[in-house]
Every structure is written in C-alpha cells, then in structure tokens.
Structure 1
Amino acid sequence: MRAVAKYGALTTLGSVVLSALVAAPADGADATTSAAHGVVRAAQRAATAGIVFGACPKAEQLPDPIVCGTVEVPLDYTEPDGRTISLTVSRVPASGSPELRQGALVFNPGGPGASGMYFPMAAEVPHWKRIAEAYDLIGYAPRGVGSSAPLSCEDPADFVKAPTQSPIHPSESYKRERIAEAKAYAQGCARAGGAALPHYNSLNNARDLDVLRAALGEQRLTFMGASYGTYFGALYATLFPSHVGRMVFDSAVNPDPEQIWYRNNLDQSVAFERRWDDFRTWVAKHDATYHLGTDAEAVRQSYERVRAGVAHKPAGGKVGPGQLQAAMLGAGYYDDYWPTRASALSEYLKGNQQPLIDQAAPRPAAAAQSENASAVYTAVECNDAPWPTDFAVWDRDNTALARRAPFETWDNAWMNLPCAYWPAPQRRPAEVRTRPGQLPPTLILAAERDAATPYEGAVELHKRLAGSALVTERDAGTHGVAGGANACVTAYVEDYLLHGKTPVGGGGRGAPPPPRPGGGGAAGGGGGRGHKHQKSRTGG
C-alpha cells in the first residue's frame, strides 16, 4: 500500500498490540445506522441531480472525448444535510451501439491517495476495446485526492526534500529524528484537516461509491478496484450487497480486521524482500548485459556499492540512499522496471550517474500531487484502525523483521509511524464478509509473488466474499494483474465484465515472460517520503 500494505510470513506481535486491538473503540450501532440513513439520503439527492459533464479542467490533462463533472457527497454521513464535498468524475461514453451498452464501469487504482481520473483513456487501449464498447468508463478522484476536497499535511517542497538517508538498521539517534518527524507530520495533518480529518476513511470511501453509483443513474454498481481499491470495494459489497452488479478485485488487500493496517504493512515488508530477491536473481541471469554479478548475492553487493556511493556523494546532488531506495522499490512492484533499474545501477558503477538521476531524483513538478497522495494515504490508514501508540512496539517488531527482510522494513515503518501519534479517534476496522446468495459472482485477480498486496490477501478475500472466483497468476509478481501482458487474464476479465461469467473453481495461469534485458521498461521516478505511493496502484 503507499499504500496499502500487507502480508507474507510475519513476526508475531506482542501483547501490547493485541490488547490495543481489542481495546480500540468501534463505531457504535447508532452511528452506523445513522450513516446508513445518510447514504440513502445522499444517494437520492445524487440520483435526482445526476452529474453535469463538460470540459475537463486543464490540470487533469485529459484528451477529448473525455468529459468531467462533480458529485456532491456528505463529509459526514451521520449528518447528510451538513457540509458536503465535491468529488471530481471523468467519463468517456461507451463506444459501441446502444444495444451493446451495459452501463457504467467505475475504476479505482488504489492508494489510499491515488486518483483514477485517467481511467477513461483505457478506451484507446486495444485489449479494452470490447469493454469500452459496452461500458461508459468512469474515473474519479476519491475524497481528499486531487480536486476532491484535497488534503495536505505539509509543504510539498518539504515532502520531496532530497537527498535523504535510508538506513537498513537505523541508529537510536536516527530513530529519534524519525519519531519527531512523524509527530510533526501528524500535527500538520490535524492543523490542515481540522474537524474534517476523521472523515477520510475507507468506510466513507465505500459510501461515496454508492452516491456515485446513484449519480450515474445506475441501479447496480459495476466496479473494478486495484490494490487498496479492493479493500473499500469489498466494504462496499458488504454494506450494499443488493447494489452490486459486477466487481473485479485486482491485487487484493487482506481484509481481515486483525490485519488492517499494522500487520498488513509488516507482511508487506516480508513480501518485498522476496521480490527484491526475484529482481536480483533476474539481474544475475543477465550479467553479460549488466555486469552486476552472476548470482543474487553478488548483485546485492553491487547495489550496496551504489548505496555507499550516493551516501558519500549524492548523485546530482539530489539522489541519496533514500531516493535510491525509493526508485529500487519500483522493481518490487513491476517487472517492467527491471531493465531500467538494473541499467541505472550498472551505469553508475561505470561512472555514468545520469540514468540513476533520471530515475530517482525528485520531480518538483509532481511535489504537490505526491504530498497530497501521502496525506490521504496517511489519513485513511490512521483513521481506519488502531495502531500501536508506543514506539517500543514498532521498534521491537521492525528490528526483528529487518534481520530477515531488510530491504523495505524500516522505510515502511517510517512511512506509517504518524499513525502512532494520530490526533483523530481510531476505530475498529469494519468486517468484510458476505453470505452465500447475497452477491452475484465476483472476480478476484492475484499474482502469486505480488509484494504490495501479498497473495494471502486474495485468498482471505476469496473466503470472505461468498461466490467469488479467484484467478491466480502463478510465479508472477507484478502488482496489478488486469490490463497487463497476460492474454489469459485479459480474457477472464472480459468474459466476466461482458457476460458475468467467472471460471468454475477459479483458475491458475502462468506469468507472461520476464522482461528482456537492456532496454524498454519504465523509467519511473523517485521522490521524498512519498515513494510508497507506488504501493497503492498501493495501493498502494
């Protein structure tokens, strides 16, 4: 997860965390009932008002024929006649004949903190052609994101400050520095968010979906969520089962309330260690191209030489160990990053720093967007669930975990540490679960070696959503299965969205071929504290 975080083998948490989880207050029954009535009222208003679509704001950089509009949702669903916020929405109409049209397909890419406004551009992608003929493609920016009542917690220039450090085994003095930063960040969120801060949470994201459904004139929601989008999509299915049409859950978050979110993040760090090994093994197989080592350990040593080099003298004055780590984290998300990341390491050791600078240096033009995404990520995860409030718990768990999973453990912890000092009340996570017959069939997609949303999460979601089908991409680790290079997965998604068919008993399919060495791939980019937003695609 910047996302959304998750699973794998995990350290056993101590009694302090367990007691905190047990003691955390849940939303009361009265508040839950009041919010449910608030959703009904807001949805009725939205159905009457609809969405007036017109030219998209220039800031969205969306081409014709995509149009944009807004939908009003309550800030607080227990007060539906109180303050409202506007969510921005994008749309491209179904391109097929009227008899082919099946309604609107709403997409969320994850996070928390990611915007899906770009989604209608998928209509131009060849393997989306038949889906785009049948559905209006709908993107939107969730509450807090982009132009949707945007949340900010610090100056964007401070957010992407560079170079920064990223010690695998931090000293006590470094830990104190990060604790102070986490406290300041949480206080910044409180100042900026004010009374609205507690209302950035997953339950409200799910409720917003139902208001959006009504505003689009849909009796039932057809939805595709990726990474974190699977979590509040699953909450939606639990809260509004009679409003579900078809739902695709791509790269699923583990929805077990005991996992949200502290344990999920620990599990995620374990999974990233495995993916880091996958990347280094691939680089070693192509030593003739990269000259970084003939086995994974030799490649790790080459990487450590680069880390030591940028720690001593940051590349381009902006790429230190923190920016290097953020860039290399992308290799844990997407196989497509492997060639360019390996090439950057190789070129650096040959004396050419430019590829690493291009891929890892912060981008000032994206600072505001990255800071906004980080603010929403933090607010949602901190508001959703109880977190340990004693740093000794974080220290114990992450110190132990870093001994066997050093690649991402402490960076993951620092990203989430503001939740230890969060000013808004924390709630017990909502339960995701449906009974047989409550939902139409739903489709879950997962890669077996996904690090951002480890595979155990998809299995857990499959258990909790009665009647769901799970399609597994075997021996694959790219985060986000739909819309990729696997034609078999694409066929499953298309058959489901167009005909409502899910594979009997789910299915398992092999991964597409690994990337070729030496070229192509995604350049990606670095940044400051916000690098984990990749996890959100979370998450995510």
Structure 2
Amino acid sequence: MMHIRRIARQAPIRSRTHARTTAAALLSAAALLASGCSSSGNASASTPASTTAGAAQLAALPRSTPSSLARYYDQKLTWRDCGVPGFQCATMKAPLDYADPGAGDVRLAVARKKATGKAKPLGSLLVNPGGPGGSAVDYLQQYAGIGYPAEVRARYDMVAVDPRGVARSEPVQCLNGRQMDAFTETDMTPDDQKETARLVAEYKAFAEACGTHSAQLLRHVSTVDSARDMDILRAVLGDPKLNYVGASYGTFLGATYAGLFPERVGRMVLDGAMDPSLSARELNLQQTAGFETAFRSFAEDCAKRADCPLGPKGSTPTQIADNLRTFFLKLDAHPVPTGDPDGRKLTESLATTGVIAAMYDQAEWEQLRDALHAAMKDNDGAGLLALSDSYYERDSDGRYSNLMSANAAVNCLDLPPAFTGPAQVEKALPAFEKASPVFGPNLAWASLNCAYWPVRAMGEPHRIEAKGAGPIVVVGTTRDPATPYPWARSLARQLSSGRLLTYVGDGHTAYGRGSACIDSAINTYLLDGTPPAEGKRCS
C-alpha cells in the first residue's frame, strides 16, 4: 500500500496524518494514502494502467439534485459543544448507498469553529488532512482551527467532517490491538516461501477481519462517496460553493469533488497532490522513488554531521544507504530490545516504518538520527519503535486508531490492486529496488495488501478536468516523499483551471511548513480569490 497519509506529529497546519497523507501509508510499514486495493484474491491481474494520456475521465454529475437526495440536502444540523473550547460539533446524515438512497444512512461527524473576525465572512472552509483514514475533526480541533493564519480564521468558519468509515463517522473495524501488533511486526521482505506464506496469511487475516466486522460499510467508503458527502455538507452549511483545503490524500478527495461538481467549486487548495490518472502499481512505484529522493536528502544532511549514526562525516549518500540496509538485515535476523511493556522488539519492519515516518518532515531528522544511534550503537530500539507507533497511531496502552483499517478500506475500493499474488511482486522487485535500494523490497511487498480484499474495487485510474470550476491551486514540493512532485504537475495539467504552486524543498506538503512565500500565496488566494502567478516557485 502507499505511504500517502495525513498529519500526525506536525505543528499546526502541516498535513501528514496523517495521509500524513495519508496518506497519507502502507499496511505494514505505515499508513498509506492512495494505494489501490481491490477485489478478492482471484481478481484478474492488475497491469499498470495507462498514465494521464490514456486514462478515462471522471464525469461530472448532473447539476440538479435528485429528488431522492432532497432529505439529505435539506437537513438541519444541531450544533452542540464539542468539549473543546471554541468548537461546535454536529452529526450529519448521508445515504449509505448513493445508488439506492432508501437503503439506509451513514452518520458523519462534523465540527466547526466560527469565524473570529468582524469583517465580511467568506463562508465555510472545509479542511481535510489526508489518509485516507485521518480524522479531519481531530485535525481541525488540534491544528487547523487554531494554527491556520489568523486572517483566514477571521473570515471563514473552519469546518471538518470525518469521512465515512473514519474515526467518529461509523469507523471501519478490523483487527484488535494485539492482532495489529502482530500485523505490523510481520516481515515485509520475505526471504523464502515460508516467510512469504506468513505475509500472505497476515494480509488475508486483515482483510477477513475487515469483512467480518464491517461487511456492509466496506462497499460504500470510496472517495467518490466521501466527495458526494462533502456536497451535502456544503448545502447544509448554506454555502453556494465549496471552499476547501486538502492535503495529501485530501487532494484526491478535493479533486474528485471538483470533477463531480465543477460548478460548485469555490476556492480550492490541493497541497501535496496525488495523480488520479495512475494505476495502483504506478502510484506505489513512483512513491517508492519519492521516498528514495527524500532519504537521499536526509543522507546528504546526515553526512555533514559528526554524529551521523550511518557513517562518518563526509560519507556519500550511497554509503549511508548501504549502512542502513545492513542495519535492516541485522534486525531481520536479530530484533533488538525496546523496553516495551508488551515485550515488543524492534523488527526490520517496525524500523523501516520508523525511518519512513521521519522522511515526511526534515524537522524529524534529528529525532531519527538519535533513534538510529540508540538502536545501532546501544542496542535500544525504543526510539524507532516510538516513531513507528506514532505513524500507526498506536497509543501507550496498545490501542490503535482506525487509521489503518479505514486506509485499506478506501484504497481497496478506489483502485484495482497493484498485485494479485506473490509471483507478481517477485517479478516487480527489480523495478522497486531500482527505484529505492533502501525501501524498494519493503514497499513492493506492501503493495500486495489489497490482493485479498473481500470487496471488489469500484474505481479505475482516471483524469480529472473539472471543466467549469474556478481556479484550483495545486501545490507540489520538489522532494516530497509521499506525493512526488510530478504528481502535482500532472494534476495541475489535468485540471482545466489548475494553477501549480511549487515549493523547492523537503517534506510532505508545503502550506504552514515555514515558507512565507507559500503561505502568502495561499492566504492571498483564500482571502481575495487571486491565485498564484502561473509557474510560481517558492523555497
């Protein structure tokens, strides 16, 4: 699965849930974003779909609202105190199945913080941090509602909705905490048939558990479903158009909304953009190269420091990468202690997740160096385990959020699987290893996660043009690990009104990450509707 996820550990505004950002994320090395998952294990092999030029196009829905949906569009929200100062919460209903609105409802958790200023209000600004599986309500209450620029919060009601299947919105349920521990520790670089069989068994067990505990919901958590929910929310809030800031996987959600409802697009920012025209295999392979690019940047920085645990000062990035791979191989044979009360040791898979987690934000490179030093020199894996746990959203009591479950459920519905069996992974290993000598094998096997999903994929790779929409700002970071920069360029070209804004730098997403140039350009667009100049670049 892909490592695109949302914000988890960043300062206000930053988007990595955490899709990071959804990620976005990979089912066993992190929480992914856009990896395609699909049908049952006997599905036909997924060959790499054609890229932008040959992909189908997402068609807009009729402008008029079907009478069968009127009761949803006309509903009134009852706002209540959230228990978090300054925020209100409500529950919104949406049809479980848009093809059959009479089949039942899903209840979606909504939160808002009213505009704080006295100037003319601009309506609502919906935010989504990515994943899929990241809680937008948590993101609003913990980051966006207090960390977005004061001038933006003064003019907009800040709003979030947990997408269907996520957090407070009828969450998808799969494994319990102990089962998730076993799942995340599973060897993601099998060396023989026995280890391959165990990995496949873990994927099957995960899929079976999701099918058992969330059978009805699994067919109705696609990105298209959630985008249609957003239009109901827009109407219920009384906004003629949707103003939106989405990060990581949130860009795919926002772009999907624009494709379905182009005439209802207001001011839309898509930060850390995904390319909807790529197949699951292409997405995973290109993201693997993105993590290699980010790691090379980390390695160059590490080599300048006397305390770099991966090599003496002056080492080349290749030497540092070789030393990290050697460390991973040692962990594969001999996991190191962590002091964890549940007895968990640092395995190769958990260590890889910890390193990948730190690639999302250069501010975490120091923490990664310290964690690697402790594991490699002091035989103490606690630091890397902490990075991995935070990425998986595992708390100190051994409980996981439903991030991983929702992530798989959405991804496996949105695209056919990258691979349908181990033989396909083995054939693709050279390409993944070329894309990233450090992470390639792990990410190739992680791409197998949707092969055994109990629900057949409903989506396909497609272009999104959104003809008729106003200017849409697409933001790309040149060394983004999870959403490689070429994806932003591609999405901006696909959108008929796309405007590319480039951040030359490291990390996942750009808004609120310290670039005054980026923040000023986006704030200006949100406040007065003026998009950045064509080709604008910031550093």
Calculate the TM-score normalised by the size of structure 2: 0.82
1:280 and 2:299 correspond = yes
Shift of 1:355: 3.7
Which amino acid in 2 is paired with 1:314? V
SS at match of 2:47: helix
Q: Kindly provide the CA deviation profile for residues 81-118 of structure 1, in whole angstroms up to 9, marking residues without a partner as x.
A: 22101110111100001x43100000111111111113
Q: 1:222 aligns with which of 234, 243, 248?
A: 243
Shift of 1:65: 1.0
1:497 and 2:501 correspond = no
Which amino acid in 2 is paired with 1:287? A
Where does residue 460 of structure 1 map in the other structure? 490
Shift of 1:195: 3.0
Q: 1:412 aligns with which of 443, 446, 464?
A: 443
Distance 2:397 2:128 in 1: 20
Where does residue 21 of structure 2 map in the other structure? none
Where does residue 423 of structure 1 map in the other structure? 454
1:130 and 2:151 correspond = yes
Where does residue 519 of structure 1 map in the other structure? none
Shift of 1:232: 1.9
SS at match of 2:491: helix
1:111 and 2:111 correspond = no
Q: Is the 8 A contact 1:6 1:265 kept in 2?
A: yes
Q: 1:377 aligns with which of 371, 385, 407?
A: 407
Q: 1:100 aligns with which of 120, 129, 132?
A: 120
Moved over 6 A (4+): 19-22, 35-39
Q: Is the 8 A contact 1:290 1:346 kept in 2?
A: yes
Where does residue 76 of structure 1 map in the other structure? 97
Q: Is the 8 A contact 1:43 1:210 kept in 2?
A: no
Q: 1:187 aligns with which of 208, 212, 215?
A: 208
Calculate the TM-score normalised by the size of structure 1: 0.82
Q: Kindly provide the CA deviation profile for residues 351-373 of structure 1, in whole angstroms up to 9, marking residues without a partner as x.
A: 27254454445744475444x21
1:491/1:17 Cα in 2 relative to 1: closer, same or farther (>3 Å)?
same
Where does residue 194 of structure 2 map in the other structure? 173
Which amino acid in 2 is paired with 1:245? G
1:254/1:381 Cα in 2 relative to 1: closer, same or farther (>3 Å)?
same
Distance 1:68 1:434 in 2: 34
SS at match of 1:426: coil
SS at match of 2:328: helix
- Give the stretch that moved more between structures: 351-360 or 99-108: 351-360
SS at match of 2:364: helix
Distance 2:300 2:350 in 1: 22
Gaps of 5+ in 1: 8-14, 57-61, 511-540
1:358/1:278 Cα in 2 relative to 1: closer, same or farther (>3 Å)?
same
Q: 2:47 aligns with which of 13, 18, 27?
A: 18
Q: Kindly provide the CA deviation profile for residues 338-359 of structure 1, in whole angstroms up to 9, marking residues without a partner as x.
A: 0110112123344272544544
1:146 and 2:167 correspond = yes
Which amino acid in 1 is paired with 2:523? E
Where does residue 424 of structure 2 map in the other structure? 393
1:453/1:356 Cα in 2 relative to 1: closer, same or farther (>3 Å)?
closer
Cα RMSD (Å): 3.1
Distance 2:101 2:183 in 1: 43
Which amino acid in 2 is paired with 1:423? P
What is the number of equivalent residue pairs in this alignment? 485
Which amino acid in 1 is paired with 2:297? D
Shift of 1:299: 3.0
SS at match of 2:285: helix
Q: Kindly provide the CA deviation profile for residues 175-208 of structure 1, in whole angstroms up to 9, marking residues without a partner as x.
A: 2211122122222222222233111111101111
SS at match of 1:218: coil
SS at match of 1:469: strand
Q: 1:303 aligns with which of 307, 311, 324?
A: 324
Shift of 1:155: 1.8
Shift of 1:401: 1.7
Where does residue 433 of structure 1 map in the other structure? 464
Which amino acid in 2 is paired with 1:283? C
Shift of 1:78: 0.9
Which amino acid in 2 is paired with 1:409? G
Distance 2:294 2:538 in 1: 19
1:166/1:247 Cα in 2 relative to 1: closer, same or farther (>3 Å)?
same
Where does residue 526 of structure 1 map in the other structure? none
1:483 and 2:509 correspond = no
Where does residue 265 of structure 1 map in the other structure? 284
1:426/1:123 Cα in 2 relative to 1: closer, same or farther (>3 Å)?
closer
Q: Is the 8 A contact 2:35 2:415 kept in 1?
A: no
Q: Kindly provide the CA deviation profile for residues 267-295 of structure 1, in whole angstroms up to 9, marking residues without a partner as x.
A: 11121112112111111111256584222
1:126/1:21 Cα in 2 relative to 1: closer, same or farther (>3 Å)?
closer
Distance 2:305 2:428 in 1: 36
Shift of 1:509: 1.3
Distance 2:330 2:372 in 1: 11
Which amino acid in 2 is paired with 1:412? L
SS at match of 1:222: strand
SS at match of 2:127: strand
Identity between Structure 1 and Structure 2 (%): 28
Q: Is the 8 A contact 2:72 2:232 kept in 1?
A: yes
Distance 1:500 1:20 in 2: 36
Which amino acid in 2 is paired with 1:207? R
Q: Kindly provide the CA deviation profile for residues 40-89 of structure 1, in whole angstroms up to 9, marking residues without a partner as x.
A: 45763344322211122xxxxx6201111111011100111221011101
Where does residue 312 of structure 2 map in the other structure? 293
